[in-house]
Structure 1
């Protein structure tokens, strides 16, 4: 999940404070993307809140298999934006890609209402998200006049508010429907949310101006319905074909040793990166410079560190969801709190604490104690590790007594949210600001690779640690704190590499 109101960039924050009031009004198109993203995140987090519980309690999956499928699904959800961003950069443009992606995701959510279509549905959600997610995020940046527009930080803060509003409502609405009335009601609600997001984007696209359009394109109209339908049908065919191929290739791949599996996966990833990074023949964008490559390298290095953060944070939908379901006392005032409601603590805390962080960052950034984007992300990792120290204690009490009070899990979610407020919006703003024009959407998609790898690890880490004698939550505490400390040490070097001004 992403911060809703933190001002991520100190230079921009300072510019906002000194700009003329009339120039601080946000672009009208921001409202359109705000609500489109809100409904899309409602659909995603509604699905995320229900998936593991649905697999264990309704589909008969054991804990390990459910977490593995969760990790595979959420990992691929954050892998495909790299491809979707490249397709938008080269061919479709951000706006068309987002509409196509949203349409495919809507089909996926509705398909989840039918158990026999579960794998097809997950595949559609993965592919659709790849076309939607990086392109709406990139479109926000295109609403502003250059990377130093003083409204940019505030605009991203409002954009994040939409993300967290959708994420807050999803467990309460889709989660409650799924747990109380039937799983498929919850999945259906997620599909309705995605449909509303599409309507919002198409209805209000006049306010977007040229944001998300390539130079030769015009706003989407009825004449583009065929394009959207054909691409959506192609995505359905692609997912169906991959499922059939994997039925043959999957057993062979699973029989390989771990090193061979990793080598093959890395080879495929490198081939995909090489294919999508090649510029289109009719590209009108300027060539890459040495400074551009420095920025790309810096982003990739930070991305590797951020994997440690998301590996821990994404336990929220996996092991921590099962902890809430099986080892947390959920009876309050004679009412049983639905398990999925715990996942609304994070976005609610963001909404409450974001203004506080905005004030802190603004004042700190104008003082001699200012911290760069990279330094803030390092601190966020350390804070996440502190949350897992609390989770370690909660697990110990639960193992001894059977269950723990709900306040333990709530406290962990709050601490993790503080870490997120320091890391997630800062990283997205950093990438959108420094990414070379040629690779704007692609690099945003590459940034999401950290979440792809981390989500997969989040689902499989418990199994990987079996037999080592290392408990999950203490391991995550050490991983997060260690990675954050090392990143903070490397901050001055990374700032120079990316052309950022502050040493720390």
Structure 2
């Protein structure tokens, strides 16, 4: 969820009227509506495809459960790793707003390609690359609408997060129903249409963004940018084809490695990329990092580790929990069978109802003497997520004994996970946008999203990693989530001191 030439909070995006507004005013900048709509449609496309992917692999293509979950984990993991590069390219050359448009176009082509079975891996590659351009930069643009220290920023990210979940709610109902009932290609194509709407929403009303997402001297996106957009799109396709060719050659070697070795190799590669990209190249950006900037990077790096644990559990929604809905949940209602993908709409529906309440709660709480530091809010979110897996472990045991369980078990799990998500995710995005140094905001947002990528891979590979251990996956997940949440609460005072040093 940056332009290196401007502040991520003010110079990049507030209008004159916005700048004159008091930080205590609760009305948000008009540009937030634009990003809200663009992100809503992009998330419609992403979650529409995600709702179908595992079910499509198992029920249409004949994948084994473990193989389908691993491909799902690899795809969703890479989707969150590429923002590390996409944020960097936007900071250095492309500009945040143009990178969002490029990413949207590439993803739109990927969704349409998913409608054709022979193009499965090409389509997944385009979605991975396109998201790398779109996600960190659309998320960073929200922070560009606010001044540093503006207490409305966390509320703005919660509203932005509500837009994410409007799209996520509609996606399984539309794409999931079309895919499961009419034909898989109809569901995937509808995701492509949603992405097209997202691009149009951004370009149509981009004047409300002011200069948010534009580099110094860069004009708003127009017809003159079409050749550049086309060049990056063709380049993305060429990259995907090249990687797939290389993958065929390296597949035997990769398959011979154990799951732990693969994870270590991935983390080493991620660290190498980060260290290679973190040093800016010229001008003010060429100055050595200050102590405050190193503090900011340390805070983000440490909290990212906890974010990995959180999303490793949360992302079971599109994997093991999706298969649980399909195979171990009684979905019959008055003679009609509820599509399994519909259960994935429970979470965003709950967020749409609860996000405004959390937005108001954080604003009121942060202006009172009972203010909670951001890491404390995130720690509580992890504990609540763990409570959801306590319920999920009970549902699993009951299903194994009886064959199926009622739908209220999954509904309860999704509700608890929603509460945990609202405590962690929008708060984390706001923290990164406010703490990150101006010249590294896109890159550090990419690092944050890369942590989610590692978590997504672990979510898909978890059953393989635990094979032979005798530990049920849902038992492992509630133990790790609650334990990590308690640890984060314990180190919150130290992280809070580092954050204050970083923002001084």
| Cα drift, residue 20 of structure 1 | 5.7
The change in CA–CA distance for 1:50 and 1:401 in structure 2 (over 3 A counts) is same
Aligned mates of 2:392, 2:257 — CA distance in 1: 35
Question: What is the aligned counterpart of 1:62 among 59, 64, 68?
Answer: 64
Describe how 1:209-228 pairs up with structure 2 within 5 A: 209-228=210-229
Q: Which moved more, 1:334-343 or 1:347-356?
A: 347-356
> Is residue 83 from structure 1 mapped to residue 85 from structure 2 by the alignment?
yes
Residue in 2 aligned with 1:109?
111
The change in CA–CA distance for 1:374 and 1:107 in structure 2 (over 3 A counts) is same
Question: What is the aligned counterpart of 1:27 among 21, 26, 29?
Answer: 29
The change in CA–CA distance for 1:67 and 1:260 in structure 2 (over 3 A counts) is closer
| Cα drift, residue 363 of structure 1 | 4.5
3-state SS, counterpart of residue 82 of structure 2: helix
TM-score scaled to structure 2, two decimals?
0.92
Aligned mates of 1:21, 1:496 — CA distance in 2: 23
Residue in 2 aligned with 1:143?
145
The change in CA–CA distance for 1:264 and 1:397 in structure 2 (over 3 A counts) is closer
| Cα drift, residue 286 of structure 1 | 6.4
The change in CA–CA distance for 1:263 and 1:466 in structure 2 (over 3 A counts) is closer
| Cα drift, residue 207 of structure 1 | 1.9
The change in CA–CA distance for 1:360 and 1:437 in structure 2 (over 3 A counts) is closer
Residue in 1 aligned with 2:11?
none
| Cα drift, residue 203 of structure 1 | 1.6
Whether contact under 8 Å (1:37, 1:162) holds in the other structure is yes
| Cα drift, residue 374 of structure 1 | 0.3
| Cα drift, residue 359 of structure 1 | 4.4
Residue in 2 aligned with 1:182?
183
The change in CA–CA distance for 1:369 and 1:210 in structure 2 (over 3 A counts) is closer
Aligned mates of 1:484, 1:239 — CA distance in 2: 38
Aligned mates of 2:259, 2:464 — CA distance in 1: 14
Aligned mates of 1:157, 1:442 — CA distance in 2: 22
Question: What is the aligned counterpart of 1:120 among 119, 122, 132?
Answer: 122
Aligned mates of 2:219, 2:360 — CA distance in 1: 40
Aligned residues: 485
Residue in 2 aligned with 1:234?
235
Whether contact under 8 Å (1:288, 1:436) holds in the other structure is no
Whether contact under 8 Å (1:100, 1:128) holds in the other structure is yes
Aligned mates of 2:390, 2:303 — CA distance in 1: 24
Describe how 1:196-275 pairs up with structure 2 within 5 A: 196-257=197-258, 260-275=261-276
RMSD: 2.1
Whether contact under 8 Å (1:285, 1:438) holds in the other structure is no
Aligned mates of 1:323, 1:263 — CA distance in 2: 29
| Cα drift, residue 254 of structure 1 | 2.2
The change in CA–CA distance for 1:392 and 1:150 in structure 2 (over 3 A counts) is closer
TM-score scaled to structure 1, two decimals?
0.92
